[in-house]
Structure 1
Amino acid sequence: MPSPIVSDDTYDALPERPCGTAVLLLAGSSGRLESARADLLSHRGARVRAIRWFGGIGQRPAPHEVPIELLIDQIELLRRDHDRVAIFGTSFGAEAALVTAATVEVDATIAVSPSSVIWSGLAEGRWSSHWSLGGSPMPAVEFDSAWTPTTDPPEYLSLYSSSLSLDPALTEAATIPVERISGDLLLIAGGDDRVWPSAAFATAISQRRRAHGRRTTIVQHPDAGHRLLLPGEVAAVGGVQMARGGTPRADAALGAQAWPEISRILGLDRD
């Protein structure tokens, strides 16, 4: 396999036998470069660029008013040299993938533990949207200020669930317009996600798209949590301290279920 090209904020995995698909790969709140997953996909033929989208050089310090143009620019760069371009994100990265694909044309979108709405983030003592577009914060759901954690490490599922009902008008404004996503869309969710209700979000996304004549593929496992383990991957460590649900076995079972669909949507070599 060709050696990856690595910088502080990007990891480019290059396939030996290109399948024609380039993938922009996004992590969630950990802010890590998803290098191992990039290598896994490139081994099957995808050209993969994993990027850091906050906390890097010249970037926003946290998931807070991150310009969606940062991701659009990467999509456009990859499209110069590839027949198909996909975006693949997890958690906050899945939120980013869905917002990006609803803003600019992408051939395929994979969202692991997705959200159907845009959420708020905190940086420099100020709450605002995770994302900005054209220099302005995008509408975002605000958090329930009365919520307090009841577990250690904290389980945030009830916070996200209760926050959705605080201001129905704001929640509607912050709902990602997934009906604008023109390419293939694959949603992957665990039924035991203790971070946010990703399975319910996946259903809401699918229903909204169905109402507009758009098809969506959903892969779920009732016992999996917030993190996905694809075949050959090992459980990640680090990131924000929180209860994520699932077990390594169930998370791997979800990954095994999802892998054929990931291969299909990306056009990967299945050998």
Structure 2
Amino acid sequence: MRVPLLSLLLTAAPLPAATFTGPGSLSDSNPAPIRIAGLAAGSTVTLVAERHIGWAGGGQRSETRFVAAADGTIDTSRDAPIAGSYADVSSSGPFWSMQRAGNTSVPADGDATLVATTSSGERLALSVPAWPMGVAQRSVPDFPGAMLARPSGKKGRLPVVIVLGGSEGGAFTAKTYAPMLAAQGFAVLGLPYYSPGYDPADFVPGLPTSFTDIPADRLISVKAWIDGQRDLDGRRVAIWGVSKGGEFAVLAASRLPWITAIVGVVPSDVVWEGWGRAGPATASFSWENRPLPFVPYLGFDLELARLQRGERMEARRPHIAGRAAYPERIAAATIKVEDYAGQMLLIGGDDDRVWPSGPMARAMANRRAAAGLTTAVLTWPDAGHALAGPGTEPIAPMLANGGTANGLAGARSTAWAATIAFLKSTLLPEMTR
């Protein structure tokens, strides 16, 4: 029996060489999926992702198995793994599902490595950088612990994003997010403003050690410094603040009309009681050397007792209880976001266990809407407090502060994309036309 020549050619044709692609960087606003092509249909691939992240405890690792589709491809934006570190379809799943793993092949913070091993034994490797472009960084001696980051090789005057961290204090947030945001095309001033010394290695001398009467009007001197820099554009200044830094950001916006745009990540709509100093209760923030009206907490001692017993502490409870116990304090402590005419993006989680950031974000958007102002607001029912940063960061260490793994990962991915788009549209409109 003669076999048709076409059949012989088809059966003898080798598979094309497999190709392995992924996102351009771990902090891309819309990261590309991980994709492998040139596989045998139905073959399996084991994908190992590794990264070293100091704040997450060092080495991180995920391992998942996929089955190639009929066209010989695996695509994380289309395919769920058949086994491994996460279960559902997620474009960045191999990154956010990483768990602490001790030693990894990645020795220092930053880039991630991906290794795919096919069922036939072929091994493919890919490195994904932390940032999409190089970043130049320099210290700013005028402000304790401050640093300025800007894209390497970018000339001229750049718009500025001021980064304000939360109750962790120190310089961690400045060091983490200033270069990450600068890699998107901005000059970014990481501005520590409080340093309790929880991490002695991150302590910043010269800053308040208690979160009491923090001078929010120090941003006036920061603006004067920006105006004096030849490589910065003081006409375009945004503030990106997270948690207590989000409270700081929206408070500043309500009083400083020169701010172009605000990103409040899990922010507050009121000024809260401060902590860390003996004596009568006072506010978290001050203005012109005067404590601002504030809402007291109720029951923080109960939460601390839970922590000492080895139970889970939820700071959300004393915030909610304080609001209910002191209704007469709310009006004066409410931040007048309706007095800010600029652009505002608010991001919150309804399962936030630090404070109710979702309802507070919506309350601010409603206040501004009543004044005829538009506000971009993003909240999710299954997201918690850890909504700052890209959706490629490991989720496991963040879940103690609320949210589900899939919910938090998806929310972070959406929030980061919205943040970059918002900042580009308000500070770099020429890039978005």
Fold equivalence (TM over 0.5) = yes
Asked whether 1:107 is paired with 2:279, we answer: no
- The code of the aligned residue for 1:6 comes to S
Residues of 1 paired with 2:388 and 2:212: CA distance? 27
What is the match of residue 133 of structure 1?
287
Give the 3 Å change call, closer, same or farther, for CA 124–236 of structure 1 in structure 2. farther
What is the match of residue 166 of structure 2?
28
Residues of 2 paired with 1:13 and 1:52: CA distance? 14
Residues of 2 paired with 1:53 and 1:197: CA distance? 23
The answer (yes or no) to whether the contact 2:170–2:194 under 8 Å persists in 1 is no
The answer (yes or no) to whether the contact 1:113–1:198 under 8 Å persists in 2 is yes
What is the match of residue 270 of structure 2?
117
* Alpha-carbon distance, 1:203 to partner: 1.1
What is the match of residue 71 of structure 1?
219
Q: Kindly provide the CA deviation profile for residues 35-81 of structure 1, in whole angstroms up to 9, marking residues without a partner as x.
A: 22211211110100111101233322121101112233223433553
Q: Kindly provide the CA deviation profile for residues 12-33 of structure 1, in whole angstroms up to 9, marking residues without a partner as x.
A: 1112347942011011000143
What is the match of residue 160 of structure 1?
319
Residues 16-95 of structure 1 aligned to structure 2 (within 5 Å): 16=152, 17=154, 20-33=158-171, 34=173, 35-55=175-195, 56-80=204-228, 81-82=232-233, 83-95=235-247
What is the match of residue 412 of structure 2?
255
Extract unaligned runs of 5+ from structure 1: none
SS of the residue 2:332 aligns to:
helix
Asked whether 1:196 is paired with 2:355, we answer: yes
Give the 3 Å change call, closer, same or farther, for CA 229–85 of structure 1 in structure 2. closer
Q: Kindly provide the CA deviation profile for residues 77-131 of structure 1, in whole angstroms up to 9, marking residues without a partner as x.
A: 3355314100011110000001111111210000011111000112331321011
Residues of 2 paired with 1:247 and 1:53: CA distance? 31
Percent of residue pairs bearing the same amino acid type: 30
Residues of 1 paired with 2:139 and 2:415: CA distance? 28
Give the 3 Å change call, closer, same or farther, for CA 232–257 of structure 1 in structure 2. closer
Give the 3 Å change call, closer, same or farther, for CA 79–181 of structure 1 in structure 2. farther
Residues of 2 paired with 1:41 and 1:252: CA distance? 19
Give the 3 Å change call, closer, same or farther, for CA 243–188 of structure 1 in structure 2. same
Q: Kindly provide the CA deviation profile for residues 123-162 of structure 1, in whole angstroms up to 9, marking residues without a partner as x.
A: 3313210111111100010112587235723112221111
Q: Kindly provide the CA deviation profile for residues 204-261 of structure 1, in whole angstroms up to 9, marking residues without a partner as x.
A: 101111111111111122211101253365359999xx94112454333212112332
Residues of 2 paired with 1:181 and 1:133: CA distance? 17
Q: Which has the larger radius of gyration?
A: 2
Give the 3 Å change call, closer, same or farther, for CA 79–255 of structure 1 in structure 2. farther
Residues of 2 paired with 1:25 and 1:216: CA distance? 20
The answer (yes or no) to whether the contact 1:113–1:226 under 8 Å persists in 2 is yes
The answer (yes or no) to whether the contact 2:151–2:185 under 8 Å persists in 1 is yes
Residues of 2 paired with 1:138 and 1:237: CA distance? 37
Residues of 2 paired with 1:249 and 1:73: CA distance? 42
What's the RMSD between the two structures over aligned residues? Answer: 2.6
Residues of 2 paired with 1:235 and 1:79: CA distance? 38
Extract unaligned runs of 5+ from structure 2: 1-133, 196-203
**Range with greater deviation from structure 2 (79-88 or 34-43):** 79-88
SS of the residue 1:123 aligns to:
coil
The answer (yes or no) to whether the contact 2:212–2:277 under 8 Å persists in 1 is no
Give the 3 Å change call, closer, same or farther, for CA 62–237 of structure 1 in structure 2. farther
SS of the residue 2:347 aligns to:
strand
SS of the residue 1:256 aligns to:
helix
**Range with greater deviation from structure 2 (136-145 or 2-11):** 2-11
SS of the residue 1:9 aligns to:
coil
Displaced runs of 4 or more, over 6 A: 236-239
How many residues are paired up?
A: 268
Of 142, 145, 148, the match for 1:12: 148
Residues 236-255 of structure 1 aligned to structure 2 (within 5 Å): 243-247=400-404, 249-255=406-412
Residues of 1 paired with 2:391 and 2:139: CA distance? 22
Residues of 2 paired with 1:167 and 1:248: CA distance? 35
Give the 3 Å change call, closer, same or farther, for CA 2–227 of structure 1 in structure 2. closer
